[in-house]
Amino acid sequence: MVSICQRSPRTKSASASLRLPGGYIRLVSWRNSVRSLASASVEQRHVLIEQVRGQMPQVSVRTLCCWLGVNRRWYYQRRQRATREQREATLRQAMEQIILGFPGYGYRRVTHALLRAGWQVNHKRVLRIMRECS
């Protein structure tokens, strides 16, 4: 639940109240730091940004990060990290399927099989993952 008041042309500030699973958070001004959100965990802040973006797509990430007192770089790095971990898990599953189908394959043959399957992967990465999994 997000409610945002209109920006005041004189003060150039906006007020909003945002609802977290633990309760409401009142944002007084997008220029001031948010006092009550500082106690929220990093996970809650990220979930909150995603919820507000889903409900209000017209509000930019810059404005949301300013309201919540977090850095935009942090938001995008965290978002990229999640997709990287997801790709890594998918790659591990693809490698596992190849290794189960051909138990005698080493990292070089697994790399070539992944390349034939359309993956862009380096032999060093395949070797690292195989060492971690074995």
Say whether pLDDT at 114 is over 70: yes
Q: What's residue 105's pLDDT?
A: 95
- Cα-Cα-Cα-Cα torsion 101, 104, 110, 113, nearest 10 degrees, comes to -50
Closest CA to 18 of 58, 57, 47, 43: 47
**What would the pLDDT profile of 59-95 be if each residue is shown by its tens digit?**
888 888 887 777 888 888 877 777 788 889 999 999 9
Say whether pLDDT at 29 is over 70: no
Backbone angles phi, psi at 8, to 5 degrees: -85, 125
Helix or strand (DSSP H, E) at 25: strand 23-27
Q: How far apart are CA 4 and CA 18, in angstroms?
A: 9
**What would the pLDDT profile of 30-40 be if each residue is shown by its tens digit?**
444 444 566 67
